[in-house]
Structure 1
Amino acid sequence: MTNLPVLSLRVGAVAPLGPNGVLSGIDKSEVSVPLQLSEAGFVGDMQGDTVRHGGPEKTVHHYPFDHYAFWTGEFGEQPILANPGAFGENIATLGLTEEEAAIGDVFRLGSAVIEISQGRQPCWKLNERFAQKDMARKVQETGRTGWYYRVIEPGTVVPGDHLSLLERRSPEWTLARIWSTFYVNTLDRSELTAIAGLSRLASGWRAHAAKRLESGTVEDWTRRLQGIQG
């Protein structure tokens, strides 16, 4: 994971998605020119729902191309899985997954510096993207979610640049470990307490853990995963 070539660098404008024409930026296109990356994201990259997508803790979305073979095994050969971009990612690599990547891992990407801030919470837009009614739930259940970065130092990213590890601030807190607490061992109070106090984790996810501790219950995922009120 120390020096990985970026297989694809992608941005997208918003466009209607699904039968209701909900605006989304999930359909991103590969770029062949240098891109500026700021705390607000890549130039030219847009989100349809700026409340749940984008922002300083979800500036760059990374999805491992390592997972594409699994999804091809699930659904068969499909054009959407032939190349990176199926999951709305900004960057794709081989050789780094949620099992190794951890909150607070700092990388150089081109001349920018970025830090892993949180995993992805899959939503119903993946169902529309893949024409699979339970795709978001499958992504959540498998832990093949991808993750987000915050930008520490803005810079320029050129297609073909490398993702180079600079520092590991909390290597024990892999994305897989946090996923396990949020979606498998959902009321593990010891883990939830530690997650709520994990300083490099996005504030929304820390608050999420704290709310579970306080309520002693797991939130309803129906609306996020299916796009309907649970």
Structure 2
Amino acid sequence: MSRIATIWNADKIKFLVENYAHVSNRKLANTLGVSIPYVKIKARELGLKKECAKRKIFPSLEANILRMSENCSYRTIADKLNISVSSVHCAINDAATKGFQKRSREKTCKIMSEARVRLIKKERARAVFGLNQKTKIKLFPNKKKYHMRDRLKRCRYEVDHNGTDVYIDDETRRHANIEAEAQKMGFTIQLPFIVYYPLEFVTENGEAEDQIFTELRRKNIHG
């Protein structure tokens, strides 16, 4: 049995038949939990047609598209207004012929860059929690190293943002196994500095400090 046949059941086919004519393929794919190509293939098998393939752009909808186009990507506009990306393109291009000022190339690049950053952050969050990626974006040059950095931070280790130095303080919950594993990956465990002062440096309390020092030394000698 083919992969295409196994993902369709009676309920999914019924939903597709009832909604294919007036709902975008992307919306159908998300609702049915399949890819857009599978929606198209099944619709072709069933002989379904898009009665409203090009949704009529009413003035109110066009106004929303033009307003959102200043700060949103075309994909975001399409998703929020439940229309296709091609409809967004058509509406903006038609308006441009009537004098509408399309956003600049620099603004478009900025919006695309911000959208990509948000997407990467979401995908990284999914990876941290052990979930599969929704895209094929390469998130980590070294995925194991990224996970190790996250484990160290959760154990209160201070990890250099752009380096491999790992610092320890009083709040660090030290784990020998994790530290050994991190060192194998190239991390360097930086132990806290211990500074010893000469005895005469600590004379604020006079004889009391001398007595405590003598007592501590006696305990160390006799164990």
Query: How high is the TM-score relative to the length of structure 2?
Result: 0.19
Per residue, is there more strand in 1 or in 2? Answer: 1
More helix by share: 2
Work out which of the two has the higher radius of gyration on C-alpha atoms and give 1 or 2. 2
